[in-house]
Amino acid sequence: MQLEVASKEAIAGRSVIVTGAASGIGRALASGFARDGAFVVGVDTNGEGLSELAGEGVRAVVGDVTEPATLRAAVDLVLEGSGRIDVLVNNAGFGAPGTIETLAEEAFRSTIAVHLFAAFYGIKAVVPQMRRQGHGRIVNVLSRAAEACSAANSAYSAGKAALWALTRSVAGELIDDGVLVNGLIPGMTNTGIWGRPRPELQAPDEVYPTALALATLPQGGPNGRVFWDMREYPLFERTIGQGVPMAGAQREE
């Protein structure tokens, strides 16, 4: 399945919450939605980064997405400003590389909390209003890391795999209420997650067309699916049944 290209008019007048909005992909999405006429609330711990978006019309909630109160504050701000909640983009995330022996317990716990619990809190916060409206779009930012499961990347892979499962389950719960829940794989993007500039990778704003399409899906549109660069991506289907590397086998770098 391929998504239809959405016009910027489709999001105009809608309300959107984007987590992890102070930098990278989240910033590009928040900026894009605001530019196209949406009422946007960005959520992040980085208040300075959020303040740079104020000139573009993005309202800010500075706080930790692993705290339910932060997401409730974002909902309150959206309702105060627009009276409705149309879109939630669960984008917040970070990497925590390390082997099972070197990865600190707190780093693993924090990674799972940001990728899974924060999305759970966000969905839980917006669903009552979306149900009342009979309309809502939830976009969870996933990664191929969920299926690739590279060595020394267990925390990030586990977090994204769990977020996929949450996406699928919640999609089934909300379909009769006019709420569509889908996953978005950005692809390799030049963001701070790498710890250094990666100019050979795509720019964050290249993710926006797919996010816009998912945020403005028509009623009866795809639900519980995953999309990458406007096309449906069969997450896990290509890797189920494949074994892990044999002892002594050469690893891909």
Residue 111, phi then psi, degrees to nearest 5: -65, -45
Tell me the chain's radius of gyration from C-alpha atoms.
18
How many beta carbons lie within 10 A of that of residue 14, not counting itself? Answer: 21
Q: Where are the alpha helices (DSSP H) in 5-117?
A: 24-35, 47-51, 68-82, 105-112
Angle at 20 between CA 143 and CA 35, to 5 degrees: 105
Query: Which residues have C-beta within 8 Å of that of residue 98, sequence separation ≥ 6?
Result: 104, 107, 152, 155
For helices 105-112 and 154-174, give the axis angle rounded to 10 degrees: 30
Query: Which stretch of DSSP H or E encloses residue 43?
Result: strand 39-44
115 secondary structure, DSSP code: I
How many beta carbons lie within 10 A of that of residue 184, not counting itself? Answer: 27
Told to judge if 233 belongs to the known catalytic residues of this protein, a careful annotator would answer no
Question: What is the DSSP annotation of 201-212?
Answer: SBPGGGGHHHHH
Please give the positions annotated as active site: 156
